[in-house]
Structures are given as C-alpha cells and as structure tokens.
Amino acid sequence: MHGARPEPQTASPRKPQTAFPRKPQTANRSPMSDLTRVIELFQLPFMQRALLGGVLTGLMGGLMGSFTILRQLSFFSDALGHSALLGISLGLLLGLSPSSVLLPFAVLFALGVTYLLERTRLWTDALLNIVYSSSLAIGVILLTFVGQYKGGINNILFGDILAVRQGDLVVSTVLLVVCVVFVGLTLRSQILLTLHEPLAIASGIAASAHRTVFIMLLALVVGASIKAIGVLLISAFVVIPACAARMLSRTFAGYVMLSAVLGAMGAVLGMVLSALLNLPSGPAIVTMQLAIFLVAIVLPRAKLSTV
Amino acid sequence: MSTAVLAVEGLTVYRDTYATVQDVSFALEAGTDTAIVGPNGAGKSTLIQAILGILPRRSGDVFWLGHPLSRRGVLSPKVRQQIAYLPQNFLFDRRIPITVNELVALGWDDLGLKLPWANQKQRRLAVRRALERVDALHLGSQPISRLSGGETKRALLAYCLVRPRRLLILDEASAGLDVRSESDFYQLLYQLKQEQGWAILQISHDLDMVRKHCDRVLCLNRFLRCQGTPDYALAPDNLVAVYGSEFVRYRHHH
C-alpha cells in the first residue's frame, strides 16, 4: 500500500521554524552587540507577548506538574499532547482554528481517559499508550483529507510561541488564576491525596471529584500551551521543572512553589537563549529547563535543603 | 447504641463477584482496644476500608459515634476528625518531599477549602506539642525520607495525636519494625491510649501482643468466626476455626 496516497505537503519533514529572521551576519559581531540585539528584540510587542506567554505556561506547567509527577501522571501530559493532533485535525476538517478546538478537546480527552481508566482498570501507562497512539494515527489520517494546512505541521509539532496573541494570553492568565486558587484552597487535601489516596478518603476528602477536577485542569493547561510549545514538547513543561524542584526541596509547600518558579525561569532563559542564538523558541526553553534540572542534580543538597 | 464509638451491623463487602466480608456485626465501646485477627485474605483490611467508606459495601450499616456512614461513604466531618486511620503502607513513597512537621499538620487540618496559611499559629503549636509528646521534636524539619522505621512510627503517632480523637484504626501498625522498635512502639501507643482515652481497632498478626494488650478480639475469616476476650477468642478451638488446624499445631510446638 506504500505510495497509494501521496504524503500531504503539511506532513513533510521540515526544519523546525526558527525564532527570528536571521539578521545578515557581520564580521565584527561582539557579545555586546548580541546583547543589544536581544534587548531590542524584547522591546517588540510580539516578543513581549511571547515572553509573557512563556512565563504563564511555565508557571502553570510547574504548578500542576509538581502534583502530576508525584501522582505518576507524567505520561498523561505527554499522551494528551500527542492526542491533541487529533483535535487539531478535527478542527481543521471542520474549518475551525486549532486554538478554539484544543481546549474542548483537552477536557473531553481528560474525561474520556478517566472514564476508561476506571472502567477497564488497566495500567495507566498502557491505556494512555493505546489512546495516544490511536488518536495520533487517526489525526494523521484526517490531516490527509485537509489538504494544505497553512500553519504547517511543524507549528503543531514544535509550537510557535512568537505567534501567541492577546487572546491566548488572556486564556492563559485566567487558567493560571484558576489553577492557583484551586491548588491554594485545597493544598492540604491535595497533599494527602498525593501521599495516600485511601487515607485521604478516610479523612473525608472526595477523592474522585478532586481527581477529575485536577486532571481536567491539567488537560486545560496542556491544551492551552500546545499552540506555543507544540505537541511533542509540552510534557517537558509539566515534568522537568517539577523534577528539578524535587531535587532542591525539603518541604511540600516549598516544592510546589519552586516548581512553578523554575517553570517560569526556564521559559525566560529559553526565550533569551532563543533570541541570542536564533534558535526555535520551544526547544530552546526545554533545553534551558534541562539545564536547570542538571544544575539541580549537581548542586550540593545541604545548602538548598531549607526550602 | 449511642454509647458505642463504632457499631457495625450485618456488613457485607464484595470485591468483584466475591464476598470478601460477609454479614459482620460488632460494636466498639469507648476506650477499649479491639484486635482483628485472621489469616491473609480473610478480609481484615477490606473490613476496615469498608467501615471507613474507602470501599463500598453491598449491605449492612455502619455508625460512627451514633452517626450513620452513608452508602457513598459520606460521614459528617466533625465525626471524621475524631477518627485517626493509619493504613499499612502509609508513606510508602518516600520520594515525596514532605517534612515531619507538614505530615503531622495534615492530621490537624480540617480538609475543606482553606487558604494555605490559615490558622498557621495554632497549627504550628499543635504540631509542636504532638511531636514533643512522642519525643520527636528534633525530627520536625526532617524530610520523611530520612527517618528510620521507628522514627516514622513516632511521627505517625504524632499525626494521630495532633488533635483530640476518640478512635484510632491501625492496619498492622508495627509492620516493618524490628523487635526492639516494635516493643517501643507499643509501649508509647499504650501510654498515649491511657492519656488520651483512645479506643483502638487494630489489625494484628502478633497474637502474643493481642493477648497482652487487647480487651477484645474479632476473629475474621470472611465471616466473623468468633468475638470476645482474648482468652476466649484465642483459645485453640477458635483458632482452628479461623486459621485451620495446621497453624494451631505449629504455634503449640513453638
């Protein structure tokens, strides 16, 4: 069956989009001129929106990620990211923009996965694998019917933080506030649920309701961030800052806050790196998150363990 | 019935299509110490989880301090706060970053919607007092990952102690401790029981400990085979009914 249907143009492998149009190289480039160029870049409105978008995504990913990794749900964000391609393809087929499809799709995905997990009682990672690989397969098939997608498959795979608009920032800000309020007001219950779910139920916590709300919020965070980060890298925003924070934290409350802060820090450093070296921004941010994680591993624990 | 801390009437619990606990009835009086004994798979943990509302029950009624536990496991928060439950494998994931202070504070908190910093002063004071009482004040800022088995159990007793309780439910509380630490744990537990007037319901495999400390014994093997004082319930005939004759012959020879 090879070659029965020509590959859609959108699915052709291309180099991920670079962050900025490369300026003509000059022979006497100095670190100072690089810095000036970066500062100039961050004065542009689209760069400021991108930076703000990165910080908001970093904060949300770090905050929700701190619970996600401890509850061994890391793979959920990855699976949702991959499955989002199905949502995007459906949207394109129906003539809707990816942004308007992603959030409802994320919520439906979260509810569907929760239902399947409770219904089948299979292992979470195995079930998520079924869900994401099949939705990825269906998504790619649907894309072949769409024809040329002007955004390009690269934008779906790796995101385009520079294309973040005012409306996206409003959605991210509202979502961040909801996450902070939810986690803040239920922190004790969340900690107990993370430590031992039966004990939490015995203490009167409605575990099932909490689980559903948490997974829906996580899905919304991932869904809202896919446009900027892409389906392939979004799980890094949830997992890496939280793991770095775990290496540096002693208290639970400190860990949750540090995870959010490191998420934002990774975004800022990644944007600077991206502007400085003219790299695609999503991968640059994830690289900086990795750098933070490696530093967290290497740093002597004793000095930082007061957090 | 209103004097009973816990009353269970005709409780039946199914796991899939199999009844793991069937038609169990008993009552716990205030300040008493009751042990549930029985072989592995007898339904001891299932029984405890069903009366706490963690597992759904097929039939029967559960009353805590005279308040009914609903079919969906809902119980008034005021009543819940008077019960402390220590599951068998509590704190099994020691990678979770949490200090002893934070852990004990979880026992103090009402778990409704609250600002994280609400009642900080009272919480800190209560945690301090509880840790002082179990001689673990120095462990307060330690992460749980660094505690020894004995220290962990003391931290868990502080978790129970941090607010006034009527009843402690322990699922093999001494599991994982060596002989010395186990003896220390029970010594502290029974000191606290005296002071606090706790009633205790515990699952135990240590029949000698049960004989020494408990007022009542429930012998469970799916059905409640017998209940009564340790002398009665742990008599050879009753043990045969619960554990089988092989076990009783083994105990007799050792």
Closest CA to B182 of B220, B218, B208: B208
Q: Which pair of structure tokens corresponds to residue B114?
A: 């609250």
- On whether the CB atoms of residues A123 and A73 are closer than 8 A, the answer is no
Give the one of B91, B102, B111 whose C-beta lies nearest to A203's C-beta.
Answer: B111
Please report, for residues A128, B42, B101, the alpha-carbon distance to residue B222 in angstroms, rounded to integers and kept in the order given.
36, 5, 39
The predicted-structure confidence for A57-105, as pLDDT tens digits, reads as follows: 999 999 999 999 999 888 888 888 888 888 888 888 888 877 788 889 9
The predicted-structure confidence for A194-251, as pLDDT tens digits, reads as follows: 999 998 999 889 998 998 999 999 999 998 888 888 888 889 999 999 999 999 999 9
Q: Is residue A38 part of a domain?
A: no
* End-to-end alpha carbon distance in chain A: 58
Q: Is residue A232 part of a domain?
A: yes
Phi-psi region of A278 (alpha: psi -120 to 50; beta: other; left: phi over 0): left
Interchain CB distance below 8 Å, A185 and B111: no
Interchain CB distance below 8 Å, A202 and B106: no
Show residues of chain A in contact with B95, CB under 8 Å. 70, 246
Q: Is residue A23 part of a domain?
A: no
Interchain CB distance below 8 Å, B106 and A195: yes
Split at pLDDT 50, 70, 90, the class of A152 is low
Interchain CB distance below 8 Å, B98 and A203: no
Looking at chain A, which residue has its C-alpha nearest residue B111? A189
Q: Does B240 touch chain A (CB under 8 A)?
A: no
Show residues of chain B in contact with A202, CB under 8 Å. 52-54, 80, 83, 85, 87
Q: Is residue A15 part of a domain?
A: no
Domain carrying residue A186: 44-298
Structural domain total, chain A: 1
Q: Is residue A16 part of a domain?
A: no
Q: Which pair of structure tokens corresponds to residue B116?
A: 């994280």
Q: Is residue A123 part of a domain?
A: yes
φ, ψ dihedrals at B114, nearest 5°: -150, 145
The CA distance from A81 to the nearest CA of chain B, in Å, is 26
Nearest-angstrom CA–CA distance, B187 and B202: 15
The SS3 assignment for B156 reads helix
- On whether the CB atoms of residues B160 and B168 are closer than 8 A, the answer is yes
Mutation to test the A interface, candidates B106, B120, B201, most A Cβ within 10 Å = B106
* pLDDT string in tens for chain B (254-residue length): 446 899 999 999 998 888 999 999 999 999 899 999 998 888 999 999 999 999 999 999 999 999 999 988 888 888 998 999 988 877 778 889 999 999 999 998 877 788 888 888 999 999 999 999 999 999 999 999 888 888 988 899 999 999 999 999 999 887 778 888 888 888 888 888 888 889 999 998 888 888 888 999 999 988 988 888 888 888 887 777 778 776 666 665 55
The predicted-structure confidence for A157-189, as pLDDT tens digits, reads as follows: 777 888 888 888 999 999 999 999 999 999 999
User: What ipTM was assigned to the predicted interfaces of this complex?
Assistant: 0.88
Interchain CB distance below 8 Å, A251 and B49: no
Q: Is residue A37 part of a domain?
A: no
All residues at 6 or more sequence positions from B67 whose CB lies less than 8 Å from its CB, including other chains: B75, B76, B79
Q: Render chain A in DSSP notation, one character per residue.
A: -TTSSPPPGGGS--PPPPSSPPPPP-TT--HHHHHHHHHHHTTSHHHHHHHHHHHHHHHHHHHHHHHHHHTT-HHHHHHHHHHHHHHHHHHHHTT--HHHHHHHHHHHHHHHHHHHHHHH---HHHHHHHHHHHHHHHHHHHHHHH---TT-HHHHHH--GGG--HHHHHHHHHHHHHHHHHHHHTHHHHHHHHH-HHHHHHTT--HHHHHHHHHHHHHHHHHHHHHHH-TTTHHHHHHHHHHHHHHH-SSHHHHHHHHHHHHHHHHHHHHHHHHHHT--HHHHHHHHHHHHHHHHHHS-HHHHTT-
The most distant pair of C-alpha atoms in chain A lies apart, rounded to whole Å, by: 70
Q: Does B249 touch chain A (CB under 8 A)?
A: no
- Determine the length of chain A: 307
Q: Does B143 touch chain A (CB under 8 A)?
A: yes
Q: Give me the residues paired with residue B83 across strands.
A: B167
Q: Which pair of structure tokens corresponds to residue B177?
A: 């401790």
Nearest-angstrom CA–CA distance, B93 and B120: 27
CB atoms closer than 10 angstroms to residue B104 = 28
Q: Is residue A30 part of a domain?
A: no
Show residues of chain B in contact with A73, CB under 8 Å. none
Give the one of B90, B96, B116 whose C-beta lies nearest to A70's C-beta.
Answer: B96
Looking at chain A, which residue has its C-alpha nearest residue B45? A198
Mutation to test the B interface, candidates A74, A197, A203, A210, most B Cβ within 10 Å = A203
CATH number at residue A112: 1.10.3470.10
Query: What integer is the mean pLDDT of A278-297?
Result: 93
Show residues of chain A in contact with B109, CB under 8 Å. 188
